[in-house]
Amino acid sequence: MVLDAPNLLICEKCGREYELLSRRIFCDCGGLLRVELRSVDAEVSWELFRSRKFYVWRYRELIPVPKDAEVVTLYEGGTPLIRASNLGRSLRLTNLYVKFEGANPTGSFKDRGMTVAITIAKYLGVRAVVCASTGNTSSSMAAYARRAGLKPILVVPKNGIAKGKMGQGLLYGATVIEVEGGFDTAMKVIMELANDLKVYPLNSVNPWRIEGQKTVGYEIVDELGVPDWVVLPVGNAGNITSLWKGLKELRALGLIKRLPKVLAVQAEGASPIVKAFHNGKYVPETKVETIASAIRIGNPVHWERALRVLNESRGYALSVSDLEILNAQKDLARLEGLGVEPASAASIAGVRKAVDLGIIRGDEVVVAIATGHALKDPDVMLSYEVDRVVVADAEAAVKTIEKLVMSG
Ligand SMILES: Cc1ncc(COP(=O)(O)O)c(C=O)c1O
Ligand SMILES: [Zn+2]
């Protein structure tokens, strides 16, 4: 099927339409803008996509950047979809898969959105880009900005981002502004700058970020078909919005016939969307705390969109404790060899809880999105107790190993 009308930006609040390349982030009414895919200029098919390299731009007909734009890429996406049989068994699931987004160039799913948004930023002639971040957006934006020759400015919560992520910002030589008050305060800075013409905001309020991030859904069904459940950790709710947008587009194009259910997982100490899902009323949280710093967000920008996804997909939302998150992080590492950061482990903790509650059935096909790499947060990894034996010399080390092997 070929759609045939101009692509544009559309306000989700009042329906007003703007030209696709109008450089807008918000509508005049304050509503969020969405890229509306109304024109697909080739007969798209799985065959066509699969004739190409497995990365974000495999699906380029569905990412409406101008044809003459120079794509800024580090070959993001194309991440492994790993069958997790051992972990699945421990969760009483026969078909559990992990989409390992930590395999992206800067170690998180944010690279999918950044390749597209920085491509647009460069095309629009922007010189500087800015984002508020719990760490992964900033790492990714800094890398892609440098690749495109743009100046990266990062606004992060003071003492609120994991060391690996801070290190990436420094490595790329970004300007780092640390604000008191957590991510939600950092986000206010971006809202203030949204209409400033000198600097281009690259948070997920930027509609082009969503265009890139939606490819995670494309890849899952490209490799596996449509699962019964997709499970993901939710902070600002840009990723759940993106996943769903992508899947609905595939259905509109006739490339898939049905949609999965979506399970949104938040940390207990930062769970406004989960509470809104269950109570029918959204209340932003001012004091948020969790070990999973990437999802330590009390007032998610996309909360309304997230609730719509849960409703449309007949999905579910639940929260998990920090202890459950840490246990899931260890389980994934020790049963499957997969190292993910705490926020990503929340999705596994969420699967466990959903199975226990009878929300997910044992025979359903489940894909958990592991959004970021374990190396992002070395402090959490270093907090785990294991057998660490300090010995004086090589001989003592050999003896210790021999004793260990003997005792099985
Ligand atoms: C590792 C990781 N997981 C999950 C999320 C949550 O994504 P979103 O804010 O799009 O809901 C983030 C966001 O920063 C993240 O870095
Ligand atoms: Zn509007």
Tell me how far the alpha carbon of residue 304 lies from the centroid of ligand 2, in angstroms: 15
Instruction: Please answer whether residues 328 and 349 qualify as being in contact, where contact means their C-beta atoms are separated by less than 8 angstroms.
Output: yes
- Per the prediction, the chain carries an average pLDDT of 95
Q: Which of 106, 136, 216, 243 to mutate to test the pocket of ligand 1 (most atoms within 8 A of CB)?
A: 136
Whether residue 341 has pLDDT greater than 80: yes
Q: DSSP letter string over 307-361?
A: HHHHHHTT-EEEEE-HHHHHHHHHHHHHHH---B-HHHHHHHHHHHHHHHTTSS-
According to the model, what pLDDT value does residue 408 have?
73
Q: Which of 106, 108, 112, 297 to mutate to test the pocket of ligand 1 (most atoms within 8 A of CB)?
A: 108
Percentage with pLDDT > 70 across the chain: 99
- Structural domain span for residue 357: 81-107+210-382
Considering the domain boundaries, does residue 364 fall inside one?
Answer: yes
The whole model's pTM is what?
0.96
Considering the domain boundaries, does residue 240 fall inside one?
Answer: yes
Looking at ligand 1, which residue's alpha carbon is closest to its atom 4? 233
The span from the CA of 213 to the CA of 219, in Å, is: 11
Considering the domain boundaries, does residue 20 fall inside one?
Answer: no
Considering the domain boundaries, does residue 157 fall inside one?
Answer: no
**Tens digit of each residue's pLDDT (9 = 90 or more) over 271-289:** 999 999 999 999 999 999 9
Tell me how far the alpha carbon of residue 309 lies from the centroid of ligand 2, in angstroms: 20
Considering the domain boundaries, does residue 291 fall inside one?
Answer: yes
**Tens digit of each residue's pLDDT (9 = 90 or more) over 286-321:** 999 999 999 999 999 999 999 999 999 999 999 999
Instruction: Please answer whether residues 26 and 194 qualify as being in contact, where contact means their C-beta atoms are separated by less than 8 angstroms.
Output: yes
Residue 328 has which token pair?
A: 């899931």
Cβ–ligand 1 contact at 372 (below 6 Å): yes
Instruction: Please answer whether residues 166 and 107 qualify as being in contact, where contact means their C-beta atoms are separated by less than 8 angstroms.
Output: no
According to the model, what pLDDT value does residue 42 have?
73
Cβ–ligand 1 contact at 299 (below 6 Å): no
**265 or 197, greater pLDDT:** 265
Cβ–ligand 1 contact at 108 (below 6 Å): yes
From 168-177, 186-195, 281-290, 326-335, the region with the lowest mean pLDDT: 186-195
Say which residues have a Cβ less than 8 Å from residue 48's Cβ, sequence separation at least 6.
42, 61
Tell me how far the alpha carbon of residue 211 lies from the centroid of ligand 2, in angstroms: 19
Q: DSSP letter string over 115-165?
A: HHHHHHHHHTT--EEEEE-SSHHHHHHHHHHHHHT-EEEEEEETT-S-HHH
Partners of residue 318 on adjacent β-strands: 265
Considering the domain boundaries, does residue 299 fall inside one?
Answer: yes
Residue 2: which pLDDT band, with cuts at 50, 70 and 90? low
Considering the domain boundaries, does residue 322 fall inside one?
Answer: yes
Tell me how far the alpha carbon of residue 237 lies from the centroid of ligand 1, in angstroms: 7
Cβ–ligand 1 contact at 371 (below 6 Å): yes
φ, ψ for residue 248 (rounded to 5)?
-65, -35
According to the model, what pLDDT value does residue 249 have?
97
Cβ–ligand 1 contact at 213 (below 6 Å): no
Query: H or E element: which one contains 261?
Result: strand 261-267
Instruction: Please answer whether residues 376 and 341 qualify as being in contact, where contact means their C-beta atoms are separated by less than 8 angstroms.
Output: yes
- The tally of domains found in the chain comes to 1
According to the model, what pLDDT value does residue 198 have?
80
Whether residue 1 has pLDDT greater than 50: no
Instruction: Please answer whether residues 297 and 350 qualify as being in contact, where contact means their C-beta atoms are separated by less than 8 angstroms.
Output: no
Q: Which atom of ligand 1 is nearest to the CA of 133?
A: 14
**Nearest in space to 278 (alpha carbons), one of 243, 245, 247, 307:** 307
If DSSP codes are grouped into helix, strand and coil, which group holds residue 400? helix
Amino acid letter, 329: Q
Looking at ligand 1, which residue's alpha carbon is closest to its atom 14? 294
Partners of residue 319 on adjacent β-strands: 266
Partners of residue 83 on adjacent β-strands: 97
Considering the domain boundaries, does residue 1 fall inside one?
Answer: no
CA 68 from centroid of its chain's CA atoms: 28
Residue 252, domain CATH: 3.40.50.1100
DSSP 403: H
Residue 57: which pLDDT band, with cuts at 50, 70 and 90? very high
Cα dist from 149 to 126, 183, 372, whole Å: 10, 27, 25
Cβ–ligand 1 contact at 343 (below 6 Å): yes
Q: Which atom of ligand 1 is nearest to the CA of 110?
A: 16
Residue 3: which pLDDT band, with cuts at 50, 70 and 90? low
